[in-house]
Structure 1
Amino acid sequence: MQHMIFVCRQEIKVHLLEVYWTAAQISFSVPEEVDKGTVVGNLARNLNVNIRDLQTRNLNIVSGYSKKYFEANFKTGDLFVNERIDREELCPNTIKCTLNLEAILSDPMVLHRVEVVITDINDIAPNFVEKSYSLNISELSPTGEHFLLPLAIDADTGSNSVKTYRLSPNEHFSLDVQSGGEHSVSAELVLLKSLDREKQPAIKLTLTAVDGGKPPKTGKSVSADLVLKKPLDRELDSIIKLTLTAVDGGSPSRSGTSQIIINVLDTNDNHPVFSKSLYKIQIFENLPKGSAVIILNATDSDEGLNSEIEYSLRKKGQDRVIELFQIDSKTGAILVKGKIDYEEHSAFEIHVQASDKGQPPMSGHCKVLVEVVDLNDNAPEITVTSLVSTVKEDAEVGTAIALVSVLDKDGGENGRVKAVIANGAPFKLDTNYKNYYSLVVNGPLDRESEAQYNVIIVATDEGTPSLSSTSTLAVHISDVNDNPPRFSEPLVNVYVRENSPVGALIKTITAVDSDIDQNGQVSYSFLQSNSDSLPLSTMININSETGDIVSLQSFNFEELKTFQFKVQATDSGVPPLSSNMTVNVFILDENDNSPSILAPYSEHGSVNSESIPYSAEAGYFVAKVRAVDADSGYNALLSYHLSEPKGNNLFRMGTSTGEIRTKRRMSDNDLKSHPLVVLVSDNGEPSLSATVSIDVVVVESTADIQTQFRHVPIKEESFSDLNLYLLIAIVSVSAIFLLSLIALIAVKCHRTDGGLGRYSAPMITTHPDGSWSYSKSTQQYDVCFSSDTLKSDVVVFPAAFPPVDAELISINGGDTYTRTQTLPTKEKVREGAFVSVWFFPTVHKHAKHLDHETAEDKVNRVSLNVMQFCSNMSDFFFFFKKAYQDEKKCHLPGKNRKVSEMSMMHHLNKHTLS
């Protein structure tokens, strides 16, 4: 048997790289299987960017594939191949293969869509699935009968796929090559002459599939029919062996072969015939299983078993078809067997065979082209690629944080997708190209109110009904130092007791910063001021981490009553932010000072003498003990007592005035000398005291009484002139004092009335018995002067503290006082204010019995009265000066001020005239 060799002409196909530049995207093309480093195109030129800017602006090529097929050369600006590109692996069963890239430039960030088209090369040879294929052909088969041959498969596309088939030279068969659709070629074996099995029982043929590439190589699966050229004679050739060869046009050529063994049979010389050789139908995807696609009909001219037809699907080369379809062997109905999905296969080519039951059976073939109609059965798929891990809360509007791509496997309107942000997050989607978006900042961000945003992206297609999908992107907001530390209040008052130990905790200052990490870490310090007169650094210290303020010394209320400083809280951010708080520290008095006896008497340890006449009446003034206490408030409120019980039957002590007076007249049984011990106690807790000893000596006459005034020689005849001088002096002093008082009132009356300050106004009120009182609401002491005590030294120390509960102290004519006070709580004691009042009565008004008064006694008495009046004037002037100062602090309203001033003048004149 002679074999013929077909030589394929090799063609060289040169692919040129084409660059397409539009405003929306950049397009390149590159053949598959090119070497690594092959330049695809110049990005710098197409992006209109200087080559030096590619590196400074951090050019980044982003793709959604597992391999990084392309990279950019920063020195030349070229886009080059970085990985092996196999078109058949990337885009199987597709005509056009494209890779979508994103070229990202920062500072500012610009996104460019880059599309690279992968062109096919003829790199795969046609291949037969079966290396050997057997056909049973009756020797009675007529000339021109077609027989189905196995398909050759070529993974290449277009002109590189299978284009034709070739059969090895023989005298019995030829090939009938058919085109079943776009890029689909089939071949059938045609009988050229009758077969004679007895002469040639077997015939061997070679089938070659040739693609249309340059050089030609193999392509997709193609069917070929074997055509009988002449009748067979089983007696001559019972078996015919043919070789089917697939040869490409390479140099050297490559080929794949399949052996076809033909068994020549007797009888049954008519094969079934279909009404059409090619059927075309349309079906919807997702068609239910068992649904009929088409009912085929074939007829056989034979009779009996040779005309009974059975339908079947060709099993060779259409495995996917067999998985999805089946045929009823009796009726010829093609039924749906699996899931029909447009997105996987948009069309099917079904090869059906009709065989009779003759011996040997004969068959006919047809082809059914099934087009699948798309339904909107696929929701869009959302892919999010984050560009940054966190977003700063001060990020500007328009900052890109992620790339979003949306894909819908459906076609047409079913595949058109629109993406939006569903929730009210401060972000938006900017369209880049088709279904590609950039997620950018669209509003101000605040980490303190929202540390993480869950951006909900919803993609909806335009199908009917429309389908949608949702993707949630967690955007973490990073902190910036935009919040200073904040105190709960701008000013705080702190109360510290004097004599507190060194290192005692005064106050803990706390500031809160809404930022986190270093931006929220707060440190504390004292804010230095040029006006600070106190050595603050030697007095207190602050812990920079905890804000604890501790004392560095023990405070003394008598030296320092209050001081002020500022605390600054600073965070650790860049730049650091800070805020201030003012701290007022008030030192609270402790009873740490004992009363001190004033001259002319000394404290305990020496004896002082006083003399009284034997004729002294009850209430005779003996002496007055004066004492002061360096403390304040209750700790400085002094009381006087006679500690020796022996002196209590003849003398009495003014508990508040310190005056010693006689209780009764002297008797012959009384001693001539009376030792008295005066105890001066304060009202502190615990109470402190001091004592002084006074010996009271009883003399026969007033001439023996030694006073600082009794040694002035005065003549009897000059008494009237002295009284005249004294009267002139009294009138002059009174006139000066009244003028001063009127001027003071005039100044105050012309002052603008203001609202009450933090202290209430001092008030002077009258009483039915002719006495007056001065009260202040911080601690209200009502000092009542009776007719028995004209000489009183009133010293008022206004408090430097906020007001507390009021107190009233009244002193009656019996030298006793009553105190009415609403005791403050412990908290109010810390916030309290104290007013110290000392009373220093000097001498009595007049002796009630002046029958035995001598001229010298008169002179002494008048002199004492003058001194007493002058002292009273000085004390009252000092008193009104202090009242005026207190009133300025308290902003007494004009009406009350005028009433108080009139009351003051009335009582002043009354006491002055007396």
Structure 2
Amino acid sequence: MRFLPSGSLAVIRALPLLLLCLSGFSHGQISYSITEEVKKGTVVGNIAKDLNIDIQELQSRAFQVVAGSNKYFDLNPKIGSLFVHDRIDREELCESKQKCFLNIELMAQNPIKLYRVEVSIIDINDNPPVFSLQKLVKNITENVVPGDRFALSAARDMDVGVNTVKSYSLGPNEHFSLDVQTYGQSLFPELVVQKPLDREKQSVFNLVLTSMDGGKPPRSGTLDITINVLDVNDNNPVFSKPLYKVKIEENAFVGTKILTVTATDSDEGVNGEIIYSLVDQHENAASDLFSINNQTGEIKIKGNIDYEESSAIELRVQAQDKGHSPKHTYCKVLIEVVDVNDNAPEISVTLLMSSVSEDIKPGTDVALITVSDKDSGTNGKVNCTILVPSPFKLQSSYKNYYSLLSNEPLDREQVSQYNITVLANDKGTPSLSSSHVITVHVSDVNDNAPSFPAAVINISLKENSPVGGLLASLTARDLDIGENALVSYSLIDTESSRVSNLMNINSHTGELYSLKTFDYEEIKRIQFQVQATDAGVPPLSSNVTVNVFVLDVNDNSPVFLPPYSEPGSVNTENIPYSAEAGYFVAKVRAVDADSGYNALLSYHITESKGTNLFRIGTSTGEIRTKRRMSDNDLKTHPLIITVSDNGEPSLSTTMSIEVVVVENLDSLQPSLRQVPVKEDNSSNLNLYLLIAIISVSVIFLLSLIALIAAKCYGTDGGFGRSSVPVVTTHPDGSWSYSKSTQQYDVCFSSDTLKSDVVVFPSQFPPPDAELISINEGDTFTRTQTLPSTVKVRPCLV
């Protein structure tokens, strides 16, 4: 077998076909291969040579193709070649079969013999991939998610082998990609969603799917894909404006159209059809005043519009689509009602702090003030001022907003609360105004120490008062309040004095108590300090000096001095029968350990028979006769002498003296007749007292002269206008000072421990009588201004 070359023949695979033909020849069958679509006349093979038959024999035996076996080949007997007689289309003959063969029968005559020839039709890439549809339309909802897959139509290629479909590609696109699945020898493309779809942004996607075969050169086929993004109700209606504003006059007619609201929905169909409605709010029943056309959005007046009720009306309009799951949105309609100036301004105050600390710095915000006026335009412009000057000021911040600021330092102790009147005036004609009182409380800081009512507090305490007795309530006042005014009290001990051993103070109330009983005769004054401390942070304190004066009480009875001091003894004095009236019998002396009026003594005599023969000086203690003796008088007169002090209650002591009447004192011992005999033991004392009296008299006289001179020098009249004092010295050693018609007696006590000069106008001095003390150093101290006339005499002679 051999192959006939031809310029139009396809490449024949020589070696394997030759072997095949040799194998078939042994069975009486020859095989050839030829590509489809070769030109007519293309030689397929040399029959004569392959059958080993001479050319002449082909002609003589009339070799020919059996009619009806095929129409595609014919035999040239002259040269013995089998050639293509008609167009060969493998796809038409074998469709999509992988192998395509044509069987040809040759017949020879004389003798008749049949030869079988098999021609293999080899495929060429003469068919592009072809899609079953020219255009593919797919509907995909816009709520698909990335990763969702959609099957596409596969392309068909009539060629086989490598000339069939080998790949698919998708035109550039960010929302979709292509994924090819292999099932056996077939490829199936799938559309994969890469990004979410939004119909409102892009509702249609035009894609081109390209199929490529494996031929050389490759051939391709395309498919136009139209993807319609189906709508879902994923968009809310949108108003043309979020806020509509309109002005209407109050009392406008019902049915008046004010405006039309418009909303659109990006969805389609029922998802984009809108229904309008008014939404009632808690503070505004919109449906009572206005109505809206649910199809057109036209708003009309339904009720009476009153500016005094509402100067601005806010409507809330809802737009809702008709989707299965309807979506809605809202807009506001602000209706301004035009009015006249018939409303006064309104003041709203917001306190930034419940109270203002008194140490607040000037310029600190205290309150925010908002002034509003229901009127509009000039009628609604407001000025705000403070009526009465105060430590605060107004500062405008923005339009009708003001800040109340502290302007001066505050002191809560002076003013704890401010009532600030804020006046607001509008600019309408006539102007209307209103006021508001802002109460600002000033809170306390600990800037005041506790203070006592005086720097020194004097307290009087009677001697012998029981232990634990309340002396006084020491109260310190703290001008602060609260914890800052919570005062505690304490005693201050010094190195030289431990007052805490004598006194105790209640730390909360300031009540002062004694810890011991005091004796005036031992201590007369206790001086210490009390500290008051508040509970502030830091605490403040102050001190007060406390003088506790121990007052004398009449707790000591008078005591008779010698020679009459022995208790229970009866003393005897002798007087002559010839004694005249006023005869000096005896002189008793007594002292009292108390002082003042409690030590002012008076003497009284009690005669047992009531003969009324003797008298005693109430202040001197001298016993004298009242009259001459008579024969009827007794010879012995027992006298009971009582000495009483001037205390309340008065204490007294008694002693007995027996006066014996004798005919002649000369017969008695001189010691019994002379009074000075009993006073020998006190003669030195009398001498000292006499010296003291003289010294005091001289000092007192000089003081009076100096006082009179100073007084006269200070007046225009000189000495001529002042009365001249008169100082008189008496034989018994007393003296008197007279400036007017009144006369006062001064009595010196004979107590050796203390010497007092008691000045009193009569036998019993008044409560305000003063004391003139002669100390042990013979120093005369005058504690008060002496009365007009003073008479001084010793209490004992």
Task: Please classify the TM superposition score into its range, dividing by the shorter chain length.
Answer: 0.3 to 0.5
